[in-house]
């Protein structure tokens, strides 16, 4: 069976929240581990789905990962300008890595952005430690935009990328 990218359903929220939280924890992306306040944000798929489009990668009925796509004007867009879409919280279950789910989710975000009138680019923020994701972004044509790097909290500088559409 092929991998399917689709909008997350309420029945997916708990699973996707767990996948996202475990991915960030296991990869060391949360400075305070289980006590990191951002862990609750990662688990809150219902909250994200109320403000943006949450997508999942699924294969044979099993969730492999997900991403949050924020169209222009979405309150979940951290760095996007009025003519840019943004995606956030890309995560793939460790057991499913290396099978293309992350890249498929990013491609789905790019497709959604291209379908929106007036959107000229897709942007994202990432941590320095997310090397696997950086390879996906480079492969798909995203370029670093260091002039847009920012720090949501003291001591955490996020790197930014943009894909021109």
Give residue-wise pLDDT tens across range 24-41: 999 988 877 898 889 999
Q: Which residue has the higher pLDDT, 2 or 65?
A: 65
pLDDT over 90, % of the chain:
89
Ranges of each domain in the chain = 4-164
For 133, other C-beta atoms within 10 Å of its C-beta total 20
The domain defined by 4-164 carries CATH number 3.40.630.30:
yes
Q: What is the pTM of this model?
A: 0.95
- Helix boundaries (H) for 11-121: 13-26, 38-43, 45-51, 101-114
- pLDDT, the chain, mean: 96
CA end-to-end distance (rounded Å), the chain: 31
Which burial class, exposed, middle or buried, applies to 90 when counting CB atoms under 10 A from its CB (0-12, 13-18, 19+)? buried
pLDDT of residue 153: 87
- CB neighbours (10 Å) of residue 20? 27
Looking from the CA of 43 toward its CB, the CA atoms found within 13 Å total: 11
Query: Which residues partner with 55 through β-bridges?
Result: 7, 67
CB 59 within 8 A of CB 50: no
């Amino acid at each position: 069976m092929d991998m399917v990218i689709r909008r997350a359903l309420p029945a997916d929220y708990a699973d996707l929240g767990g996948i996202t939280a475990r991915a960030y924890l296991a990869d060391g992306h949360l400075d305070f581990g289980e006590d990191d306040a951002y862990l609750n944000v990662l688990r809150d798929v219902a909250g994200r789905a109320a403000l943006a489009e949450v997508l999942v990668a699924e294969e044979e009925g099993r969730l492999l990962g997900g991403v949050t796509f924020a169209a222009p004007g979405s309150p979940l867009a951290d760095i996007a300008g009025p003519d840019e879409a943004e995606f956030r919280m890309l995560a793939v279950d460790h057991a499913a890595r290396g099978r293309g789910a992350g890249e498929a989710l990013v491609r789905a975000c790019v497709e959604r952005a291209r379908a929106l009138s007036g959107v000229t680019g897709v942007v994202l923020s990432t941590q320095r430690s997310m090397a696997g994701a950086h390879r996906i972004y480079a492969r798909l044509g995203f370029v670093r935009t260091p002039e847009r790097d920012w720090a949501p909290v003291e001591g955490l500088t996020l790197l930014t990328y943009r894909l021109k559409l």
